[in-house]
Chains A and B, each alone.
Chain A
Amino acid sequence: MWRQVLALLIKELLTVLSDRKSRVVLIGPPLIQLMVFGYAATFDLNKVPIAIYNQDRSAASRDLVAHFTGSPTFNVVANLKSEKPIDDLIDSREVRMVLVIDPRFTRNLLSGHPAPVQMIVDGRNSNTALLIQGYANNILNDYALAWNARKGAPPPPAVLDMRARFNPTLDSHWFIVPGIIALLTQLVTLLIVGMSVARERETGTFDQLLVTPLRQFDILLGKGLPSLLIGGIEATVIIAATVWWFDIPLRGELLALYFGLLLFVVSVTGIGLMISSLAVTQQQALLGAFLFMVPSVILSGFATPIANMSEWVQYLTFINPMRYFLIIVRKVFLEGADFSALTAQYWPMAVIGLVTLITAAWLFRKRLS
C-alpha cells in the first residue's frame, strides 16, 4: 500500500514540478516577494516631507526649526512665506505636515506664556498622521524641556522613562518580516493544493484515481504531502533569510517553530484540499482560494492588530490557522518562546487540520455522483 501512495506522491510532485511555468511560479516569485516585501512592509517613518511656516523668525523659533531639520524622521522641503500654499501642498501630497510657528512664539516664551505652535497634518493615511504627530510631539517636548533647563525654570514634577520590551528600537521590520514567513508559506501551500483536485475533476483524471485500489486516505496523502514537502522547504529558506539577511533575532526554540510550521501547513493544506474538492471547475476553485486567502491574511494580525477588530470578526479569526501561526512565529523570534508557551496556539491548528482533511477526503467521493 505504501508503494502505491509513494507512486501517487511522485505523480503529484511531477505534475506540480514538471511544467516549467508552474515550477518557475512556485519558486521564483515567493523568494522575490520575500525580498521586496521584507523592505516594503514598514510602519516606520523615514524622511517624511514637511513644510515649515515660521512667522516668528527669531533665534528661539529658528532653534526649533533646526530641531526638525536635524531629525532623520522629517525632511523639511519648504520654508513658507505665507499661509496660502499650505492647503495645496497638503492636498497634492507634496508634504505630509506643515508646522506653523505663531508670530507670538518668542514673545510668549520669554514672558512665560505658552508659545503657540500648530501642526497641520494630512489625515488621508490616519496611521501615518498619528505617527507624524507622535514624532513631532517628541521633538517639541525635547525642545520645551531644554528651554526650561536653560532658563532655570522649575522642572516638571515627573518625566516619562519609556522602554520597549522585546524590540527596544521599535523597528517594525522585527514585527513584519517574521509575519512574511507565514504569509508566503500559506501562499505556496495554496498554490499547490488550491486547484489540484479541481483540475483533475475538470480533466476527468480524478474519476480514474477513484477507481484504483487506492483508499481515500491514500489519495489524501498523495495530494497533501507535496505541499508539506515544498512548503516546508520554502519556509526553511525564508526563515534562514529572516535570520541571516534581515537580521531578525531568533530567540526561542527552532523546534517549537517547526512544530508550529508543520501544523500550519497541514491545516492550510486541509483547507485548500477542501476548497479544491468542493469546486466543480478550476475557476470555482480559484475563487474559493481567494475567498479564503484574502480574509485569512488581512484578518490574521499580520498588519493590523486583531484586538482592534470588531468583536464578531475577532471570533471569526479563531478558525483562521494563520492567526495562530503568526503568534507562534513572533513569540519564538522576538519573545524567545518554547514549546510550553505555545500549546494554546498548537491545538487549534491541529483541530482545523484534522476537520478539514477529513472533510476533504469525504468530499472526494461525495462529488462523484
Chain B
Amino acid sequence: MKGAALRRFTGLLRKEFLQILRDPSALAIAFVLPAVLLLIIGQGVSLDARGVPVALVVQHPDALTASFTGHFEQSPYFRPLRYRDIQSAEAAMAAGKVQAIVWLPSDFSRRARANGNSPIGVIVNGVDANDARLIEGYVQQVWSTWLAAQARLQGKRSPLPLDVAARVRFNPGVSSRDYLVPGLIALIMTLTGALLTALVMAREWERGTLEALMVTRVKMREILLAKLVPYFLLGMGGMAASVAIAVFLFGIPMRGSLLVLTGTSALFMLAALGMGLLISSFARNQFVAGQIAIITTFLPAFILSGFVFDIDSMPQVVQFITHIVAARYFVAILQTLFLAGDVWSVILPNALALAIMAVIFLAAARAITHKRLD
C-alpha cells in the first residue's frame, strides 16, 4: 500500500513537471519575472537626492555671500542655478526647474556684520514632502559647515556650542538602495509565489480535470502536495537568482549566513505558494483567481510591508493590519540578513510568523478543496 501511494505521488509529480515544461509561462514567472523586475527596478528605486537643482538668488553679491554660495557649489547634494531676482526663481520653481530657492536679501551682509542672525530665505517645493525634508536637512548641513568655516577664518570659536557626530550602523553611506533592494526581493518573491500557484488549481477546476483526478484513488492531500513541490523548487530557484543579482550586480552586502537565508526563504516561499493555492481553490475559475491575486499581493506587499514606508511610522490600527501581510516578516528578515547579519531577536519571531502563515494558508487551501469534493 505504501508503495502504491508513493507511485501515485510520483506519477502526479511527473504530470506537474510536464505541465510546467509544456507551458513556459511558469518558468518565466520563476526566473524571468524576478530577474527583469529586479534589474529594472533595482536601478530605479532610490530615495537619495543628489544634485538637486536649487535656485540661488543673491541680491548684493560680495565676499560674504560668495563664501556662502561657494559651499553650495561644493556640496554633492546640490546643483546651484543662479537667478537674478526672487520672482524669476519662483517662476522656475513653479515650472519644476528647481526644487528649492535659497535667497540672500540685499541687506544680508550688512545685517550679518551688524547684529548677526541675518535671515537666509529658504523655500522648498513641498509637494514631495519627504524629498523636501531631506533637502532641508542638506541645506542645514551646508549652513552649519559654512558657519564653522567662517568662525575659523576669523579665528573665533564656532558659534554653535555643540559638536554633533553621527554614526549610522549597518549602512554608513546611508545608501537607500542597500535597504530597498532586499525589500524588493521580498516584494518580487511575493508575486512569484502567488503567481505560480494562483491559477493552477483554478485551471483544473475550470477544465474539469480535477474531477477526473477525484475519481481515481489519489487523495486531495497528494494532489495539493504534488502542486506544491515543483513550484516550491521553481520559487527557490528564482529566489537564489534574485539574491545573486542583489549581491553581485548591485553590490549589496550579505552579512547573514546562507543557511539562515535559505531556511527563512523556504518558509516564506511556502507561505506565498500557500496563499496562491488558497486563492486558486477559493476562486475555482482562473479569471477571478487572477483578479484576486493582483489585488491581494502587489499593493499590500508594496505599501504595508516596510519595503518603502516604515511600519513604525504608521498609525496603530494600520500597524496591526500589516501583520496579515506575509511580506512584512520577510522584508524585516531580509533587511536584517543583508545589512546586519544573523540577529536572532529579529529573525526568530519573524520566521515563526512566516511558519504560522504557511501552515494556515496550506491548511485552509486543503480544507476548502476537501469540502467542495463531497
* Residues on A facing B (Cβ under 8 Å): 19, 21-22, 25-26, 29-30, 33, 36-37, 39-46, 48-49, 87-88, 90-93, 96, 108-109, 112-131, 133-134, 137-138, 140-141, 143-145, 147-148, 153-168, 170-172, 174-175, 183, 187, 190-191, 194-195, 199, 202, 281-287, 289-291, 293-295, 297-299, 303-305, 307-310, 312-313, 316, 330, 334-335
Residue of B nearest to A145 (CB): B160
Q: Is B83 an interface residue (CB 8 A)?
A: no
Contacts of A167 in B (CB 8 A): 126-127, 129, 132
CA of A132 to CA of B131, assembled, Å: 14
CB < 8 Å neighbour of B160 from A40, A144, A307: A144
What total count of A-B pairs have CB within 8 Å? 381
Decide yes or no: A298 and B302 within 8 Å by CB, A121-B167, A133-B166 being known contacts. Answer: yes
Contacts of A307 in B (CB 8 A): 49, 52
CB < 8 Å neighbour of B164 from A39, A131, A140, A291: A140
Question: Is B134 within 8 A of A117, CB to CB?
Answer: no
Question: Is B50 within 8 A of A308, CB to CB?
Answer: yes
Question: Is B47 within 8 A of A308, CB to CB?
Answer: yes
Question: Is B304 within 8 A of A287, CB to CB?
Answer: no
CB < 8 Å neighbour of B162 from A22, A96, A114, A161: A114
CA of A307 to CA of B179, assembled, Å: 19
CB < 8 Å neighbour of B298 from A93, A166, A294, A309: A294
Given contacts A36-B318, A168-B126, A171-B129, 8 further A-B contacts (CB under 8 A): A19-B285, A41-B309, A118-B166, A128-B312, A164-B132, A283-B25, A283-B199, A284-B25
Residue of A nearest to B192 (CB): A290
Q: Which residues 297-317 of B sit at the A interface, judged by CB distance below 8 A?
A: 298-300, 302-304, 306, 308-310, 312-315, 317
Residue of A nearest to B309 (CB): A41
Question: Is A93 within 8 A of B310, CB to CB?
Answer: no
Measured CB to CB, the closest approach of chain A to B77, in angstroms, equals 11
Q: Flag the segment in B117-125, B212-220, B234-242, B267-275 that touches A.
A: B117-125
CA of A178 to CA of B195, assembled, Å: 29
Decide yes or no: A286 and B122 within 8 Å by CB, A124-B179, A137-B140 being known contacts. Answer: no
Decide yes or no: A282 and B174 within 8 Å by CB, A92-B343, A122-B169, A308-B48 being known contacts. Answer: no
| Leading 10 A-B pairs by shortest Cβ distance | A123-B171, A167-B126, A164-B126, A114-B163, A134-B137, A155-B116, A43-B130, A92-B345, A157-B112, A123-B168
